[in-house]
């Protein structure tokens, strides 16, 4: 069956290519296929939302949650309009939406993001899933390896799919989650600062990665990842700190600003 998700302010191309997720690919104009939570979906862009194509009815609640169908972006954007820079950023990409991704996959994916670019991260994850995940019947897609899958994988095996020095960090995360030292279910319930301190216990997880995981994997929208692009934005536009209109939604503001500045810079380079 096909199922329409009514959620305005979403553009699949922008949302899937802004650096928050790595498992979606364009099939044709307006249609994308992807995997999350061991589920496959084919999505089609609509004017006021998206359609899940040939979807199992039992999977609909998962994807409604994944796409944050209940998030009131109109109110958030109205607040952001109080700031001229943020207004320019969301006007540039009004359909950008923060996804609610599976926490363990998000943790491992962003550990791999260290000193990496989106294209390369996507390729590494694709090879990792193909090598260590399981094929989803009827598709050419694979599940993301689960904790037990990783426990049977050696550091050299991980390095063979391109993780490099990050393999050690990935395995440390897996061991800490498996042992319960890092409890992802409990992190979901924690307030932001305590949740962040838990993730920082993992070798190789610093402030930026912890904030990415909290924002994209746990939907803690006050998390504000700072990479080189955002640091430039802060220095140029917000030397005295972020405006009050973003309070509680700093992470959503960050993603608008990140995508806006990075994309504009790439366009300038192409024009030269």
Domain enclosing residue 7, as ranges: 3-71
State the catalytic residue, choosing from 208, 220, 231, 247. Answer: 208
Burial 158-182 (b: 16+ CB within 10 A, else e): beebbbeebbbbbbbbbbbbeeeeb
Number of Cβ atoms within 10 Å of the Cβ of 82: 12
Looking at the structure, tell me whether residues 85 and 181 fall in a common domain.
Answer: yes
Q: Are residues 255 and 204 in the same domain?
A: yes
pLDDT tens digits, 149-177: 999 999 999 999 999 999 999 999 999 99
**What is the C-alpha to C-alpha distance for residues 157 and 128, in angstroms, rounded to an integer?**
10
- The chain-wide mean pLDDT, for the chain, equals 94
**Are 128 and 8 contained in the same domain?**
no
One domain for residues 144 and 196: yes
**How does pLDDT run across 193-210, given as a tens digit for each residue?**
999 999 999 999 999 999
Is 208 a catalytic site residue? yes
Query: CA 240, CA 15: separation in Å to the nearest integer?
Result: 29
- 47: helix, coil or strand? coil
Tell me the CATH number at 7.
Answer: 3.30.310.40
88 and 204 together in one domain: yes
In this structure, the answer to whether residues 160 and 59 fall within a common structural domain is no
Residues 39, 155 within the same domain: no
Count up the domains in the chain and report the number.
2
User: What's the CATH number where 134 sits?
Assistant: 1.10.340.30
Q: Do 48 and 79 fall into the same domain? A: no
Do the Cβ atoms of 101 and 217 come closer than 8 Å?
yes
Band of residue 7 on the pLDDT scale cut at 50, 70, 90? confident
Kindly report the three-state secondary structure assignment for every residue of 178-237: HHCCCCHHHHHHCCHHHHHHHHCCCCCCCHHHHHHHHHHHHCCCCCCCCCHHHHHHHHHH
Q: Are residues 77 and 42 in the same domain?
A: no
Is there a single domain that holds both residue 50 and residue 76?
no
* Predicted confidence (pLDDT) per residue in 81-125, tens digit: 999 999 999 999 999 999 999 999 999 999 999 888 999 999 999
Q: Token match 């005295």: residue?
A: 240
3-state secondary structure of 15: helix
One domain, residues 257 and 187: yes
Same domain? For 65 and 80 the reply is: no
The mean pLDDT of 135-145, rounded to a whole number, is 94
């Amino acid at each position: 069956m096909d199922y329409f998700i009514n959620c305005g302010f979403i553009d699949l191309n922008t949302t899937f290519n802004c650096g928050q997720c790595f498992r979606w690919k364009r099939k044709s104009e307006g249609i994308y296929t992807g995997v999350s939570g061991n589920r496959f979906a084919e999505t089609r862009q609509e004017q006021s939302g998206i359609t899940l194509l040939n979807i199992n009815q039992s999977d609909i609640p998962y994807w409604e949650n994944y796409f944050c169908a209940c998030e009131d972006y109109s109110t958030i954007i109205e607040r952001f309009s109080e700031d001229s820079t943020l207004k320019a950023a969301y006007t540039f990409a009004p359909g950008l939406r923060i996804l609610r991704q599976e926490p363990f996959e998000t943790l491992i994916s962003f550990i791999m993001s260290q000193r990496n670019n989106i294209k390369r991260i996507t390729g590494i994850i694709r090879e990792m899933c193909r090598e260590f995940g399981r094929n989803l019947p009827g598709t050419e897609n694979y599940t993301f390896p689960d904790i037990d899958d990783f426990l049977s994988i050696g550091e050299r095996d991980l390095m063979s799919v391109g993780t490099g020095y990050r393999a050690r960090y990935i395995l440390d995360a897996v061991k800490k989650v498996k042992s319960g030292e890092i409890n992802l279910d409990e992190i979901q319930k924690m307030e932001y600062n305590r949740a962040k301190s838990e993730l920082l216990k993992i070798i190789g997880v610093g402030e930026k990665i912890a904030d990415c995981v909290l924002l994209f994997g746990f939907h803690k929208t006050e998390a504000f990842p700072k990479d080189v692009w955002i640091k430039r934005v802060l220095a140029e536009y917000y030397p005295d700190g972020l405006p009050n209109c973003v309070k509680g939604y700093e992470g959503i503001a960050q993603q608008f600003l990140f995508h806006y500045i990075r994309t504009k810079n790439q366009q300038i380079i192409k024009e030269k």
